[in-house]
Amino acid sequence: MPVCGPKLSLCGLIISVWGIVQLALMGVFYYIGAVALAEDIPEAEYHEGKLQEFYAEVDKGFKQNAYNCWIAALLYLITLAISAHQFWANNRSSLSV
């Protein structure tokens, strides 16, 4: 049974496809520690003389963000499934009318 309208389900489809592609790629970039994304990790504080700890913290942030990106991508995969089902249900109901 269609819950969302045809436009909302189409919107969900597009955003989830976009989200899956971009977030999965960003996850990979975080995983390999891309420098361009260094500004977009949870704050890591630098204490005088404790450089190793700072590096470890930054690495942890990179890994954490990689997983977070993949989690979000997974959530978008679910959204994609729901939207696709809704889209299909809408198409079917509009055809049968």
Partner 1 sequence: MVKTVMITCGGALGLLMCCVVEQHEGGANPTESMTRALISDDCIARQSTLGPVQLGFVAGVILRERIPAFERMLWRACRGNVFLRQAEIETPLEDPSTSDQVYKSVFIIFFQGDQLKTRVKKICEGFRATLYPCPEAPADRREMAMGVMTRIEDLNTVLGQTQDHRHRVLVAAAKNIKNWFVKVRKIKAIYHTLNLFNLDVTQKCLIAECWVPVLDLENIQLALRRGTERSGSSVPPILNRMDTIEDPPTYNHTNKFTSAFQTLIDSYGIASYREMNPAPYTIITFPFLFAVMFGDLGHGFILAAFGAWMIWNIFFGGRYIILLMGLFSMYTGLIYNDVFAKSINIFGSGWRVYNFTMKNVSELVSGATLNPTHDYVGFPYPIGMDPVWQLSKNKIIFQNSFKMKFSIIIGIIHMLFGVVMSLFNYLYFKNKVAHQQMQATENGDAEQPIHNNTAQTPVAHGGHDEEPLGEIFIHQGIHTIEYVLGSVSHTASYLRLWALSLAHAQLSEVLWSMVLSKGLKVDGWAGGIALYIIFAVWASLTVSILVLMEGLSAFLHTLRLHWVEFQSKFYSGNGYGFQPFSFEIILDSATQAKEEI
Residues at the site binding partner 1, with contacts judged by CB under 8 A: 15, 18-19, 22-23, 34-43, 48-49, 51, 64-65, 67-72, 75-76
Q: Which CB sits closer to partner 1, 3 or 78?
A: 78
Tokens in use for 3? 């819950």
| Chain center to CA of 8 | 19
Q: Which CB sits closer to partner 1, 4 or 15?
A: 15
| Per-position DSSP letters for 60-75, written without gaps between them | HHHHHHHHHHHHHHHH
Q: Residue 76 CB, nearest distance to partner 1 (Å)?
A: 7
Q: Residue 19 CB, nearest distance to partner 1 (Å)?
A: 5
Q: Which CB sits closer to partner 1, 41 or 86?
A: 41
Q: Residue 21 CB, nearest distance to partner 1 (Å)?
A: 10
Tokens in use for 73? 């991508």
